[in-house]
Structure 1
Amino acid sequence: MAERGREPEVRPRARLGIAEVMGPSMYPTLKHGDQLLVHYYAPVKAGDVAVLKHPLQQDLLIVKRLAERRDGGWWVLGDNPGAEGDSRVFGTVPEELLLGRVRARYRPLGGQRSVRAVVSWLLRAVRPVSAERSVSRRLRAR
């Protein structure tokens, strides 16, 4: 039951969902237009890519890599160090704003329809997204 004057929090009911990447902040891991398979309520650890509510604009969803836990929540970073819009701008993201872990990405087929282009796309279209591309090297370099 919601408190008076407050809207009830809306959380996804399904365990799996689809999200779309908008913008360059997670390049090269994720590209603008990629579709993501999101595992809601999944356990997460540093290095995972996650979907979160933006801490300053909670109707906006963001996709970031969980760099580390800090007081107050997760420090999140985009894989593209030149792009803005991560914890360097808005600080830590509270745990309750973390919605789910990204399990895989799917790249839609581009405009080319040649056999070679389709075969190439089939080999690269769906990939798991894991913690393998760790931000630890980037954190040490700063």
Structure 2
Amino acid sequence: MRPSVLVGAVSVRGASMAPTLRDGDACLVWWGRAPRPGDVVVARLPAGRGLGVKRVAFGDQDGGWWLRSDNVGVGTDSAAFGMIDTADVLGRVVLRYWPRPAWFRNSA
């Protein structure tokens, strides 16, 4: 199920996306935007792991996405759970607004 609003806010928890994002960073998310390699996204992680903020590494022909942590070895990413279905990629992080404002652009 997709959110009914187009833009929303999330708070980062943990160190898996450091140094790009740090624990406690507040980000603006564009819900429902199709991911591209290099994007930082909010995704529904499998096996009851909840939501996660990860970077899209690549996609496959079947609509799956390989997600990775920027901080290698910290947190859980596709190395542990495999490809994520497109329906589970909920939106793209477009802006960190607190505490260090920064726009996010595709870095692939």
One fold, TM greater than 0.5?
yes
Give the Cα separation in 2 of the matches to 1:105 and 1:99. 17
Normalised to the residue count of structure 2, the TM-score between the two structures is: 0.91
Give the Cα separation in 2 of the matches to 1:20 and 1:63. 9
What residue ranges of structure 2 are gaps of 5+ in the alignment?
A: none
What residue ranges of structure 1 are gaps of 5+ in the alignment?
A: 1-8, 109-124, 135-142
Q: Which residue is 1:112 aligned to? A: none
1:93 to 67, 79, 84: 84
Query: Segments of 4+ in structure 1 off by > 3 A?
Result: none
Q: Which residue is 2:26 aligned to? A: 35
Is the 1:49–1:102 Cα contact (8 Å) retained in structure 2?
Answer: yes
Q: Deviations over 1:87-107 (max 9, x none)?
A: 000001111101000001123
Please say if 1:128 is aligned against 2:106. Answer: no
Q: Deviations over 1:19-72 (max 9, x none)?
A: 0100000000000000010001113210000000012216x1100000001346
Give the Cα separation in 2 of the matches to 1:44 and 1:54. 15
1:68 to 58, 61, 78: 58
Of 38-47 and 67-76, deviating more is 67-76
Give the Cα separation in 2 of the matches to 1:89 and 1:46. 19
Q: What is the deviation of 1:131?
A: 2.1
Give the Cα separation in 2 of the matches to 1:61 and 1:104. 18
Structure 1 vs Structure 2 CA RMSD: 1.5
Q: How do 1:52-67 and structure 2 match up within 5 A? A: 52-57=43-48, 60-67=50-57
Give the Cα separation in 2 of the matches to 1:84 and 1:62. 10
